[in-house]
């Protein structure tokens, strides 16, 4: 289908061939937005000093459809997603690499928007893009734009998070409403009428997780960002890996009204919807009040709640319903599909 764009307004296969157009893209677009000393060198690899402690490395690929959605876009998501994986591991995020896979014909203006949004997210997260790659594939060989980011962060010597730290009696907190991102993207993709009422929570969490670690130290046992599969899937993974049971209290789990209503209409469970600015912290019972106060004092944790408890057991997750019934939560099986009636 003709797009009406002039050829210079869209990504061409030649933008990925390593020649003149690639160079123009790197210097004219990527460097303009990601400006920093390490990247400006344009060498084959970025070299940087590392301090005391351990390094954390994580990688994630972003293939979201649609690439622009209420509350964010694929660029912001690609930065925040990787930053958050570092943050909940107890690392201070430092550097990112970015790889773009772009479909021939993708509008340059959209690429500029995505990269500008990434640059802003990087600035907010205090990370620098120090290496990158661009590939262009023929029309129809991928859907618009995919982005991979790899993140490097530093973990201070005194930080020790992990399944091995969980003990019966530990309490589970979340920093806010569940399911906003998953529902916002679903609504934007399907063009539902309520699409403007649900906004993705996509945001970098490193400051709030860093503060929690600074103030509580070893009182924080484990943190997880609640992305694909949502709260239920993360809780199940934690329970299985730690070899303990997790009991969640349904009435304490915060869910926004719009998400709740939309989820019911579509027959999806908000506990299985993705979040991009929410995390779960397992905290020692003696530290929980302090943790709650601290989270609620931050704008990313206003709706923070204690939603459950770790108990001795064998890897089950139970949800206490408002009536006092019990249901069992398991991993998400396949993408949530809408129901018929």
List contacts with other proteins (CB under 8 A): 190, 192, 251, 257, 260-261, 266-267, 269, 314-316, 319-330, 333-334, 336-341
Whichever of 123 and 326 has its CB closer to other proteins, that residue is: 326
**For residue 213, what is the enclosing H or E element?**
helix 206-216
Smallest separation, CB 314 to other proteins (Å): 4
Smallest separation, CB 316 to other proteins (Å): 6
Whichever of 120 and 260 has its CB closer to other proteins, that residue is: 260
Whichever of 17 and 330 has its CB closer to other proteins, that residue is: 330
315 dihedral zone (left: phi>0; alpha: psi -120 to 50; beta): left
How far is residue 1's CA from residue 22's CA, in Å, rounded to a whole number?
A: 25
Whichever of 226 and 271 has its CB closer to other proteins, that residue is: 271
Give the distance from CA 26 to its chain's centroid: 26
Smallest separation, CB 325 to other proteins (Å): 2
Smallest separation, CB 292 to other proteins (Å): 22
**E strands within 7-105?**
54-62, 68-69, 72-73, 91-103
How far is residue 142's CA from residue 183's CA, in Å, rounded to a whole number?
A: 24
Smallest separation, CB 35 to other proteins (Å): 42
8 Å CB contact between 66 and 109: no
**Residue 77 to residues 203, 229, 238, 274, 294: CA-CA distances in angstroms?**
8, 16, 24, 12, 25
How far is residue 250's CA from residue 327's CA, in Å, rounded to a whole number?
A: 10
Looking from the CA of 126 toward its CB, the CA atoms found within 13 Å total 13
Whichever of 45 and 333 has its CB closer to other proteins, that residue is: 333
Looking from the CA of 104 toward its CB, the CA atoms found within 13 Å total 11
Whichever of 133 and 330 has its CB closer to other proteins, that residue is: 330
Smallest separation, CB 333 to other proteins (Å): 3
């Amino acid at each position: 289908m003709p797009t009406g764009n002039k050829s210079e307004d869209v990504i061409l296969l030649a933008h990925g061939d390593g020649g003149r157009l690639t160079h123009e893209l790197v210097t004219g677009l990527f460097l303009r937005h990601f400006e920093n000393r390490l990247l400006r060198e344009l060498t084959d690899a970025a070299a940087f000093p590392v301090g005391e402690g351990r390094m954390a490395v994580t990688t994630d690929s972003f293939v979201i459809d649609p690439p622009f959605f209420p509350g964010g876009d694929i660029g912001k998501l690609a930065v925040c997603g990787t930053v958050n994986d570092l943050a909940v591991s107890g690392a201070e995020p430092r550097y990112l690499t970015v790889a773009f896979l772009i479909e021939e014909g993708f509008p340059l203006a959209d690429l500029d928007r995505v990269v500008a949004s990434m640059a802003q997210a990087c600035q907010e997260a205090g990370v620098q893009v120090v290496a990158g790659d661009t590939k262009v594939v023929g029309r129809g060989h991928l859907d618009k734009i995919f982005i991979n980011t790899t993140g490097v962060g530093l973990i201070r010597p005194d930080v020790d998070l992990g399944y091995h730290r969980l003990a019966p009696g530990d309490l589970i907190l979340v920093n806010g409403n569940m399911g906003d991102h998953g529902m916002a993207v679903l609504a934007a993709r399907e063009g539902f009428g309520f699409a403007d009422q649900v906004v993705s929570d996509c945001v970098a969490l490193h400051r709030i997780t860093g503060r929690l670690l600074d103030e509580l130290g070893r009182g924080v046992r484990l943190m997880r960002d609640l992305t694909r599969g949502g709260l239920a899937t993360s809780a199940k993974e934690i329970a299985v890996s730690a070899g303990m049971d997790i009991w969640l209290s349904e009435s304490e789990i915060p869910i926004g009204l719009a998400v709740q209503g939309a989820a019911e209409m579509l027959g999806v469970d908000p506990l299985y919807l993705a979040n991009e600015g929410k995390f779960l912290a397992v905290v020692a019972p003696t530290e929980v009040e302090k943790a709650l106060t601290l989270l609620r004092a931050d704008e990313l944790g206003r709706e923070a709640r204690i939603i459950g408890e770790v108990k001795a057991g064998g890897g089950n997750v139970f949800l206490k319903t408002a009536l006092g019934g019990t249901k069992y939560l398991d991993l998400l099986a396949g993408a949530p599909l809408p129901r018929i009636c």
